[in-house]
Amino acid sequence: MTQATELVDGYRNGTISPVEATQAALDAIEQYDDQVNAFVLVDAEGALAAAKESEARWHSGEPLGPGDGVPTSIKDALWTKGWPTLRGSTLIDEAGPWDEDAPAVARLRETGAVILGKTTTPEYSWKGVTDSSRYGVTRNPWDPSTTPGGSSGGSATAVALGMGPWSVGTDGGGSVRIPAAFTGTVALKPTYGLIPLYPPSAFGTLSHGGPMTRSVRDAAALLDVITGYDARDWSAMPTPATSFLRGLDDGVAGLRIAFSSDLGIVDNDPEVEALVRTAVGVLADAGAEVSEVDPGFADPVDAFHVLWWSGAAKVLSAYEVDDRVDPGLRRVAAVGASYSATDFLDATTTRMELGQLMGRFHQTYDVLVTPTLPITAFPVGQDVPDGSASPEWTSWTPYTYPFNLTQQPALSLPCGFTQAGLPVGLQVVAARHADALTLRVGQAYQAATDWHLRTPTLKAR
């Protein structure tokens, strides 16, 4: 499958056109989406019209920006002007009005990207798999009987199947990284504020935007487009001074990498453990100084629950809640509504202490490498794997939500496949504002491996 950066090179030298690339993405949607349910809305006519306009700009040598003509999808949690943003919920009035773009969507339009449509999410992106009463179940392209993860599962599935090389998701506890790991794709949760968000999330400063692609290079290129100050986000960072593609190929020689196979608190599937250890060996062979060491924090899940469940309560507080709402969302929202201000402040204190610990940790180590998840994809239609002792999605995502608490950049990229043919993810975490370093480490790994070039063998219908 052609990557976005390759498409742009082709547009520049005339070997491929935005119309051809867009038609290929639409063909993939036509061939596969009835099997995986990645999209809630596809605007084929509008996409082809935008592609023709992009083609004319390239022919005249006047592209709007580095993403002009790239077929792109948007998670149905981000506002898109003229299209409803329903967040997988029956509570939202489809009538709108829908008269404003989220910042990332606005930046994509400014660069001339071709927006194909919107991708699936669980109701209000509240959990780590992708199903909802409004849009049904989204399936994993490597094995449709399993989940692609979530909450940005539609975006990851779309990218994996060539339904456009770029998608933009959101991540409040792992929601771009979880599906990236389960689908063999790439996703970055950047430093909080680097990608501005509007309207603000009910889950507060846990929620990040994130690029979802098939390669680290494409993730860097998409990050260039969707970052940048936006006055509508009170916590938006300044526009980056340089491209995230700059220095991407500088390698890892001499970098100090901390490898934690389990954060001292996790039990991994043996195949996951073996593949991640092999991946770390690739980085060592590339010249990194690898030390096996845990950061030394206790599982912050209780603090995360206070913050996340409080957000769920806030989400539902505006509605008359009935059995149309995801039962799990209703359950955790009820718990969230019972927390006191002191509970919230105690959780915030835990969060700050974790951030301080990781800040000191990165004075010694440039990056931390872990599995993205301790397991591979499990059956669709359930929030947790078979035999789980807990009903909470956080019980199987222990490597992701800690870094929403700390707001650090965290990258997931594929590092192999199990005997059953399911992808496994490698997570690279750096200090806040060191997003370029996570991408550089990921690029060094992909330069030495080909896992990101593997594509699902789902048969077209």
Mean pLDDT of 38-43: 98
Whether residue 75 lies in the annotated active site: yes
User: Each residue of 55-105: pLDDT tens digit?
Assistant: 999 999 999 999 999 999 999 999 999 999 999 999 999 998 999 999 999
Question: What token pair was written down for 389?
Answer: 């002792």
- Quote the number of domains for the chain: 1
Is residue 146 domain-resident? Answer: yes
124 φ, ψ (degrees, to nearest 5): 55, 25
Which helix H or strand E contains 355, and what residues bound it? helix 341-364
Is residue 207 domain-resident? Answer: yes
Contacts of 162 (CB under 8 A, 6+ apart): 1, 24, 25, 28, 455
Residue 185 to residue 271: CA distance in whole angstroms: 18
Q: In this predicted structure, what is the pLDDT of residue 336? A: 98
Q: In this predicted structure, what is the pLDDT of residue 173? A: 98
Task: Give me the sheet containing 256-259, strands edge to edge.
Answer: 39-42, 114-119, 71-75, 166-171, 208-213, 186-189, 410-417, 423-430, 367-371, 256-259, 289-292
Is residue 404 domain-resident? Answer: yes
Residue 223 to residue 244: CA distance in whole angstroms: 7
User: What is the domain range of residue 383?
Assistant: 4-301+336-453
Residue 174 to residue 122: CA distance in whole angstroms: 14
Q: Examine residue 151 and say whether the peptide bond preceding it is cis (omega within 30 degrees of 0).
A: yes
Mean pLDDT of 418-447: 98
Instruction: Scan for tokens 């009835």, then name that residue.
Output: 34
Which helix H or strand E contains 259, and what residues bound it? strand 256-259
Q: Is the pLDDT reported for residue 452 higher than 90?
A: yes
User: Each residue of 299-357: pLDDT tens digit?
Assistant: 999 999 999 999 999 999 999 898 999 999 999 999 999 999 999 999 999 999 999 99
Q: In this predicted structure, what is the pLDDT of residue 268? A: 98
Residue 85 to residue 348: CA distance in whole angstroms: 30
Is residue 17 domain-resident? Answer: yes
User: Each residue of 215-259: pLDDT tens digit?
Assistant: 999 999 999 999 999 999 999 999 999 999 999 999 999 999 999
Cβ(176)–Cβ(170) under 8 Å? yes
Residue 116 to residue 181: CA distance in whole angstroms: 24
Q: How confident is the model at residue 209 (pLDDT cuts 50, 70, 90)?
A: very high
Give which of 115, 121, 117, 72 is closest to 92, Cα–Cα. 121
Whether residue 127 lies in the annotated active site: no
Q: Is the pLDDT reported for residue 461 higher than 80?
A: no
Q: In this predicted structure, what is the pLDDT of residue 330? A: 97
CA 150 from centre of chain: 9
Q: In this predicted structure, what is the pLDDT of residue 131? A: 98
Instruction: Catalytic residue, from 54, 151, 261, 310: name it.
Output: 151
Q: In this predicted structure, what is the pLDDT of residue 108? A: 98
User: Each residue of 312-321: pLDDT tens digit?
Assistant: 999 999 998 9
Whether residue 291 lies in the annotated active site: no
CA 292 from centre of chain: 27
Instruction: Catalytic residue, from 89, 155, 175, 261: name it.
Output: 175
- Distances 309 to 329, 330, 337, 338 between C-alpha atoms, Å: 9, 10, 8, 10
Mean pLDDT of 270-289: 98
Lowest mean pLDDT among 1-5, 215-219, 255-259, 370-374: 1-5
Please state whether beta strands 423-430 and 410-417 pair in parallel, antiparallel, or not at all (unpaired): antiparallel
Is residue 197 domain-resident? Answer: yes
Find residue 39's DSSP bridge partners. Answer: 119
Is residue 215 domain-resident? Answer: yes
Q: In this predicted structure, what is the pLDDT of residue 1? A: 83
Residue 455 to residue 399: CA distance in whole angstroms: 25
Mean pLDDT of 182-203: 98
Contacts of 327 (CB under 8 A, 6+ apart): none
Instruction: Catalytic residue, from 17, 75, 155, 310: name it.
Output: 75
Q: How confident is the model at residue 134 (pLDDT cuts 50, 70, 90)?
A: very high
Residue 294 to residue 126: CA distance in whole angstroms: 29
* % of the chain beyond a pLDDT of 90: 97
Q: Is the pLDDT reported for residue 35 higher than 90?
A: yes
How many alpha carbons lie under 13 Å from residue 269 in its C-beta half-sphere?
A: 22
Q: In this predicted structure, what is the pLDDT of residue 212? A: 99
Is residue 318 domain-resident? Answer: no
Which helix H or strand E contains 71, and what residues bound it? strand 71-75
User: Each residue of 149-186: pLDDT tens digit?
Assistant: 999 999 999 999 999 999 999 999 999 999 999 999 99
Residue 421 to residue 146: CA distance in whole angstroms: 12
Q: In this predicted structure, what is the pLDDT of residue 459? A: 82
Find residue 137's DSSP bridge partners. Answer: 131
Q: In this predicted structure, what is the pLDDT of residue 460? A: 80
We report the CATH number of the domain holding residue 448 as 3.90.1300.10
- Angle at CA 83, nearest 5°, toward 79 and 84? 70
Residue 330 to residue 285: CA distance in whole angstroms: 49
Mean pLDDT of the chain: 97
DSSP 361-427: HHHH-SEEEEES-SS---BTT-SS-TT-S-S-GGGG-TTTTHHHHTT--EEEEEEEE-TTS-EEEEE
Is residue 260 domain-resident? Answer: yes
